[in-house]
Every structure is written in C-alpha cells, then in structure tokens.
A and B are shown apart, each in its own frame.
Chain A
Amino acid sequence: MINARLYIMQRLTALIMAPLVIGHIGVMIYAVQNGLSAEEILGRTQGSYFWAIFYGTFALAVAIHAAIGLRAILHEWVRLDGMVLNLVCWAIAAGLAGLGLQAVYSVTG
C-alpha cells in the first residue's frame, strides 16, 4: 500500500520535522514553567515570521506524514483499498493541512 514515492515523502517529512519536534518540545518545557495563558503564547508568536515559518512548515509536513502513516493503518487494520483509501488519505492530508495552517495563522498572524 506504500510505494516508493509515498515512502520517500514519509521519510522526507520525518527528516524535516526532526529539528522542529526538538524545538517544539523545548519551547513547551520552557513555556509551561510560568503556566499557560493565551497572553503568554501570543506574546511569543504574534507577528513573528520565525514562528510562522517554523510552525507553517511543521503543519504541512505533519499533514503529509500523518496521512501516509494512517494510510498504512487504514489498509492493514481497516482493510480500506483502492479509490476509497486514496480519497480518505487525501482528505486527511487536506484536513490536517487546513486546520494546521489556520491554527498557525491564528497565533502568528
């Protein structure tokens, strides 16, 4: 169910996300020390091109990565196949990318 092209996309998005995950976890450990609030989060992110690019890249990469990962699970455990499987996976990728970019826009815009 995973061909060479999907495999390459899966590993490529993983490589892109590796440093982003380190950054994300680092920020979480740091930010949580003073308790979480909308003011604290937005004070860090709003109007920042750095965080917009950081989390924009993260959201797009995770949308592709999760869609391919779920594709294997949906085929192996739910037995989805063919056109149905393709449509569901594209919908997952598009949905996650849409929600993700909306979230990034909301906190950095």
Chain B
Amino acid sequence: MTQISQPDQQFIKVSIWRGAGDKGGYETFDVPDQESQTILDLVSYIQQYIDPSLTYRFACRVGMCGSCAMMVNGVPRWTCRTHVKKITDKAGSLTIAPLRNLPVIKDLVVDMDVFFDKWVRAEAVHHPTRSIEQGVQPVSEDTAERQAANAAIECINCAVCYAACDVVASNPEYLGPAALNRAWSLVNDVRDGGREAILEAVSGTGGCHNCHSQQSCQKYCPNELNPTASIAGLKRETSKFALRNLLNPANKHNQGEPA
C-alpha cells in the first residue's frame, strides 16, 4: 500500500472509535479511495500515514487467523476479507468500532479472554481417549456424527458470532455461539471421551438453552458455519441426556467408567 496524493484523488470518510474501556468517542479520518480496498487496508492506512497511535489487531490478512474482526457500520465482520465497496452505505460513510460484547483494551482492540474462557467452561476442549501407544483412532467419514462434526469444524475463533449475538449482550453468563458450536463438534467426534461432561457443561444457567435462535451468528459467520444448528443439536442431546438421568438417576455419576 502506498500513500497517494494525486489532485483528483477521492477520499472516504472513516469514523473510528478511539478510547479505552468504556470511555472514548469517534474520530473521523479522510482516507484515499483506492481500487480493491479492504476495511483492514483503511485502518492500516490511517495507522501508517495519519495517526500512528491507532491500535488494532491483525495477523494473516487472508481470512485464516481470525484476529482482525471489528464492527463495520454496526455489523461484525472479518475486516481483511471485507471490501470497502461492498459495505459503504449510500452516503458513502463508514463507521468502524471494536467488536461488540467484549471489553475494549484500546481503540479497535478487544480483550478476548472472556470469549476463550467460555470455550473452556463449555468443556469445548479435547478429552483424549487414547494414549500415544495406542496409536491414532481411525475415523469413518461416513457416519452422521462425523458429518455433523465436520460441518461445525472450520471455526477461526474470530468472535464475529459472539459480537452478533444479543443473548451474549443481555446475559453475561451465556457461553455464546462459538463455544457451543465447538462443544457440538466434540460431542460428535468419536475421538473425544468427554461427551457427558460437555452435555453437563452446556446445560447450566449460561448454557445452550438460552439461545433464542435469532441466527445472527450464522448470518454473519465469515466461514458460513451455522452455530444455531449446532446449538439446536446440543438442545436435543442435552434434553435426551437430562430425561435419561431423570428416569434412571443411578446413571448420573457413572460417567467415564469403562463399559
């Protein structure tokens, strides 16, 4: 990217949220309009040529790493793969803010700790079933479970779904679409031994049952995953699990024992 200052240069007005924590406001910059510009290009231009103190986060620039998500005109997006031309409203203005539902560290950088803590709280972590001596477990691609796991697996942890979700905004305990989507792919993974621990973890007060199927998560997921469908799957499995425990309480604390 080069700094351009030709006489007929068009400019885009970009309002960017500046500040830390709850305090701050929007600051407007004029950025040269260039061909095939992404939102991340605009932010980088401002940081490199106008105000070096602007703070933002990015790494790969090709939609792999999930670190550059921001609110663009009120909608969460992966900024490195979002073209300016596709976003600007009729007035040609752009507003860029830090991701919703997460505490702001500075400017466009949010603290992702809560987001990842909730993955752990949802037991969305691998529960190994084999030691290294036992070798790799074969995985059949044909089963319905494997297909459900595969459908949920390409998450890049960008937190776009977490920012899009109104339940997260109004219920701070709610585990959120990304953690629950991961939990669902593990429930369906034959290599994971934590099925019951996961089902219990997503059945509490912040669990999957709080989802109201607004489906903003699946609408805005840049990888076109469908956390709503994953959460629906968890609602079914946790209900069956809870009803089984209700009918046969002796089963409840036997989990993890060899069959």
Partners in one complex: yes
Binding site for B on A (CB under 8 A): 1-8, 11, 72, 75-77
Complex formed: what's the CA distance from A77 to B205 in Å? 16
* B210 with A8: CB separation less than 8 A: no
Inter-chain contact B170/A6, CB cutoff 8 Å: no
- Cβ of B152 < 8 Å from any Cβ of A? no
B205 adjacent to A1 (CB under 8 Å) = yes
Instruction: Name B's A-contacting residues (CB within 8 A).
Output: 167, 170-171, 173, 203-205, 207, 209-210, 212, 235, 238-239, 241-243
A79 closest partner in B (C-beta): B170
Distance from A3 Cβ to chain B, minimum over Cβ atoms (Å): 6
For the A-B complex with A7-B239, A75-B170 known, give 17 more contacts whose Cβ atoms are closer than 8 Å: A1-B171, A1-B173, A3-B203, A3-B204, A3-B205, A3-B207, A3-B209, A4-B207, A4-B238, A4-B242, A7-B209, A7-B238, A8-B243, A72-B210, A76-B167, A76-B170, A76-B171
Q: Chain A residue with minimal CB distance to B206? A: A1
B residues near A7, Cβ cutoff 8 Å: 209, 235, 238-239
For the complex, give the distance between the alpha carbons of A76 and B210 in Å.
10
Closest residue of chain A to B174 (Cβ to Cβ) is A1
Task: Give the complex CA separation of A64 and B209 in angstroms.
Answer: 16
* Cβ contact within 8 Å between A4 and B203: yes
Tell whether A8 pairs with B239 under 8 Å between CB atoms, given A1-B210, A2-B210, A75-B171.
Answer: yes
> Inside 8 A of A76's CB, which chain B residues have their CB?
167, 170-171
B210 partner residues in chain A, CB cutoff 8 A: 1-2, 72
B239 to chain A: closest residue by CB: A8
A4 touches B209 (CB 8 A): yes
Report the number of A-B residue pairs with Cβ-Cβ less than 8 Å. Answer: 37
Question: How close is A80's CB to chain B, nearest CB, in angstroms?
Answer: 12
A-B pairs with beta carbons under 8 Å apart, 28 shown: A1-B171, A1-B173, A1-B205, A1-B210, A2-B205, A2-B209, A2-B210, A3-B203, A3-B204, A3-B205, A3-B207, A3-B209, A4-B207, A4-B238, A4-B241, A4-B242, A5-B242, A7-B209, A7-B235, A7-B238, A8-B243, A11-B239, A72-B210, A72-B212, A75-B170, A75-B171, A76-B167, A76-B170
CB < 8 Å: which of B167, B173, B239 contacts A4?
B239
- Chain A residue contacts of B203, Cβ below 8 A: 3-4
Chain B contacts for A6, CB-based, 8 A: 209
A8 to B203 Cα, complex, angstroms: 11
**Bound CA–CA A2/B167 (angstroms):** 12
The smallest C-beta distance from A64 to any residue of chain B, in angstroms, reads 15
Q: 6 smallest A-B Cβ distances: which pairs?
A: A7-B209, A76-B170, A4-B203, A4-B242, A2-B209, A4-B238
Residues from chain A with Cβ under 8 Å of B170 in the complex: 75-77
**Complex: chain B residue closest to A7, CB-CB:** B209
Nearest Cβ on chain A to B139's Cβ, whole angstroms: 29
Residue of A2, A5, A6, A76 most packed against chain B (CB within 10 A): A2
B205 partner residues in chain A, CB cutoff 8 A:
1-3
